[in-house]
Amino acid sequence: MPANVKKENLPEKVCVVCNRPFTWRKKWERCWDEVTTCSKSCNVKRKREKQQQRGGEKTEGEQQQTMTTTIQSEGGNKLCDKCGKSRAMLIRCQIDSGKRWNMICVEGCWRSVSGGVTDGTAEYPHYKYGGVWKNRRKVSLEEKRKAPPVVGAVLGE
């Protein structure tokens, strides 16, 4: 866009979601031809509509953006994706060609998927290290005392 152009002379488009007109902005200078929505909220609505039309299926790019969700257990620990045990420290890593990030426990599973090497070896070509997760939640004695008793626990043993 040339300099010294008055606001009323800026180019306009109509939003494909809300059908409202919107004008050119400096941040769209390089991609004005590709802009189809007037705001982030309209862009999100457009993406949701596309996903609903596809029947809720995500594209490959959307699947890669979505991090794997690991179920949390008591005390803020997370479950290991390999053995399913609740752990306070896990390693985030990729272990196969699927590019999915897994949370693997340090105690037993990590050596079996990485060979004990953080960068992987010829034996583990798909292994990729992605960081350490630690449970930083501190459970005080008062919280432990306030916790409801476990159902079926036998007292006095």
pLDDT for 19 equals 94
Q: What is the torsional sign of CA 83, 89, 94, 99?
A: positive
Indicate the pairing of strand 21-23 with strand 12-14.
antiparallel
pLDDT for 1 equals 55
Q: Return d(Cα 126, Cα 114) in angstroms, integer.
A: 9
Q: Return d(Cα 154, Cα 157) in angstroms, integer.
A: 7
Sheet arrangement for strand 101-105: 101-105, 89-94, 128-134
Q: Is 22 helix (H, G, I), strand (E, B) or coil?
A: strand
First CA to last CA distance, the chain: 80
Exposure string of 92-105, with b = 16+ CB inside 10 Å and e = fewer, is bbbbeeeeebbbbb
Is the pLDDT score of 114 beyond 80?
yes
pTM: 0.43
pLDDT for 61 equals 56
Confidence of residue 152 (pLDDT cuts 50, 70, 90): very low
Question: Is-contact 7 13, C-beta < 8 A?
Answer: no
pLDDT for 115 equals 83
Q: Return d(Cα 56, Cα 46) in angstroms, integer.
A: 14
Q: What average pLDDT score do residues 113-122 get?
A: 80
Q: Which two tokens stand for residue 28?
A: 């769209």
